[in-house]
Structure 1
Amino acid sequence: MAKRVQSPSSIKLYHQCPRKYFYQYIRQLETLPNIHQIRGNIAHSVLEKFFDIPLQDLTLDNFKQRLTTVLQELLFQEWAAAKPKLKNLDISSDQNQFYFEETLLMLFNWLEHFSNELLSQKGSFEERFRLLTPAREKFYLSKVFNVRGYIDAVEKFNDQIRIMDYKTSSSFNLGDHRLQLAIYALLYQELHGELPDFAGIYFLKDKPKFIKVDKQLLEFARKEIELIHQKTESDNMTDYPKRPSGLCKYSTGQCEFFGVCQKED
């Protein structure tokens, strides 16, 4: 059987619960979006479109206030575009407003870090902005390792290459994302023939964090990818054991496969 094409999210899901991996990627049961996924997609879209804004009226003196307004307007647009999906969620108007305002604060927090980075560069505002503009939402597919992924931002400045991901979660432990970043680094190295210097996460509720990319990190990715290929060769449910945890059922919800999982051994 041909190896399944994996991704950082599919591998993470397998580690979380092999049975959940089976339901989602092999049986391909329907999953419904939740507010955290939709909000995350909205924030990603805002940050992707942010770098396409007109720059002619922006200067080093006025850019902070202007970019704050830009982010707010982009969020309004993206939130409105997602209204049909948001309507399908079981959340109140107050909850919807809460998540909107929380997302706006995340974007303002990211802007503070971006502004500081911009001020540390040389040249006109436009020159600095262009320098910090990343390649965005880049798709990578390795036929060697049968793994794929989208890198949110590839940054090249200060004689360094950084591959970055945006996270809207409330957990800021970079170690939880080491495998994802390792796979991204491996994908980047395979396509471009060079190692990025750093891989990191923009924790939108916190601050950006980075790890140095080296050969050991790539080897970690290779081993994990090969291991997951070995463990997902089968189509038999019994080869994907349940891994009960607090993620099965919790105070605000439950796993999307909780019902079917309870009925099957």
Structure 2
Amino acid sequence: MAEGTINTVSVEPATSVGTVRRPALSPSRASDFKQCPLLYRFRAVDRLPEKPTKAQVRGTLVHSVLERLFGLPRGERLPERAKDMLEPTWAELSQECPEWTELFEDDDAVGEWLAGAAKLVDAYFGLEDPNRLDPEACELHVETELSSGVVLRGYVDRLDVAPTGEIRVVDYKTGAAPREIGEAKAMFQMKFYAVVLWRLRGEVPRQLKLMYLSDGQALAYTPDEPELVRFERTLEAIWKAILKAGRTGDFRPSPSRLCNWCSHQALCPSFGGTPPEYPGWPEPDPGEESVLDRAD
């Protein structure tokens, strides 16, 4: 099946005459609010900058290479071809985001980092043969509006559709988050995509597949319609809570062991800090994900 796109319920981006995209919920921002409302505020409302880690940027690189891999004809999707893409793809990414090059001390550090990315690519080929399938889409933007008015928006790493119509959602994981926490967040993300695709296509995805490239393991899950109905209600409740906090500015911290990975401890009351003055609910859109969000 040829690579393509899915028709989405979309809202036009901001224009010179003042049209704005409606606020939306993305899987990363929903997960942020569940983890810590103040973290959501820092990222979605204040939009405070965060210095990426080498692991995050490596994830972006590997995702980009795997997307390009499926642009090759069957028979040419080979480990060496994929690894040969790493350096030129990094050259493009670092040109688009030159600040990422500041993560590395010298060329030797870049070479060592690229070697780590090559191991992730090898791990991917240990999990499946890309020559045996043709995804309908890679890095697919999906968006829909629920009957409650909540707009859901996100990016699917890969969408496979069988000749008989069954849908499989595939997500690559390259990060090194604690496994039990990471898996819970990953499954939340996958169920989010399952709800969006179900509402867009009228078909519950047959399989949600997580591919852990750091350890060469895969996790497959089959959702059902009642489960997605319940999860849809969860997303609506999260959005309702976000809007309530947005009106009042009351985004409270929720300390946990994940605080060890937070970039904003200096501004968090739980660590003796003071958040910046609340700027008000953002326009046009607090729900968009960055490429680093999508890379994991």
TM class by shorter chain equals: 0.7 to 0.9
Match in the other structure for 1:50: 69
Structure 2 gap ranges (5+): 1-20, 276-296
Q: Give the match for residue 115 of structure 2.
A: 101
Where 1:138 maps in the other structure, the secondary structure is: strand
Letter in 2 for 1:105: K
Shift of 1:78: 1.3
* Change in 2 beyond 3 A, CA 1:82/1:177: same
13, 16, 19: which is aligned to 2:32? 13
**Residue 172 (structure 2) aligns with:** 166
Secondary structure, counterpart of 1:199 in structure 2: strand
Name the aligned partner's letter for residue 138 of structure 1. Answer: L
Report the CA distance shift for 1:53/1:246 in structure 2 as closer, same or farther (over 3 A): same
Indicate whether 1:219 and 2:219 are aligned: no
Distance 1:211 1:165 in 2: 12
Task: Pick from 228, 235, 246 the counterpart of residue 235 of structure 1.
Answer: 246
Report what 1:113 is aligned to.
127
Distance 1:101 1:26, change over 3 A: same
Aligned partner of residue 157 in structure 2, secondary structure: strand
Seen in structure 2, the aligned counterparts of structure 1 residues 91 and 243 have a Cα distance that, compared at 3 Å, is farther
Secondary structure of 1:112's counterpart equals helix
Bigger CA drift: 32-41 or 224-233?
32-41
Contact 2:204 2:224 in 1 (8 A): yes
For residues 83 and 70 of structure 2, the distance between their equivalents in structure 1, rounded to whole angstroms, comes to 14
Tell me how far apart the structure 2 counterparts of residues 176 and 94 of structure 1 sit (CA, whole Å): 34
Offset at residue 93 of structure 1 (A): 4.9
- How many Å separate the matches in 2 of 1:236 and 1:88? 38
Aligned to 1:146: 151
1:72 corresponding residue in structure 2:
83
Aligned residues: 240
* Greater relative contact order (Cα < 8 A, sep 6+): 2
State the alpha-carbon separation in 1 of the partners of residues 66 and 168 from structure 2.
16
CA distance in 1, matches of 2:163, 2:138: 18
* 2:195 matches 1:186: yes
**Whole-angstrom distance in 2 between the partners of 1:238 and 1:11:** 17
Cα distance between partner residues in 2 of 1:95 and 1:224? 43
Distance in 1 between residues matched to 2:112 and 2:41, nearest whole Å: 34
Please tell me the residue identity of whatever aligns with 1:78: T
- Calculate the aligned-residue CA RMSD, in Å: 2.6
TM-score by length of structure 2 reads: 0.72
What TM-score comes out, normalization by structure 1 length?
0.80
Contact 2:61–2:86 (CA under 8 A) maintained in structure 1: yes
- 2: CA distance, partners of 1:91 / 1:46: 24
CA distance in 2, matches of 1:103, 1:15: 31
Percent pairwise identity? 25
- Check the 8 A contact 1:182/1:220 in 2, yes or no: no
Residue of structure 1 in register with 2:264 after alignment = 257
Describe the SS at the equivalent of 2:199: helix
Shift of 1:232: 0.9
Q: Which whole-Å CA distance do the structure 2 matches of 1:209 and 1:239 have between them?
A: 37
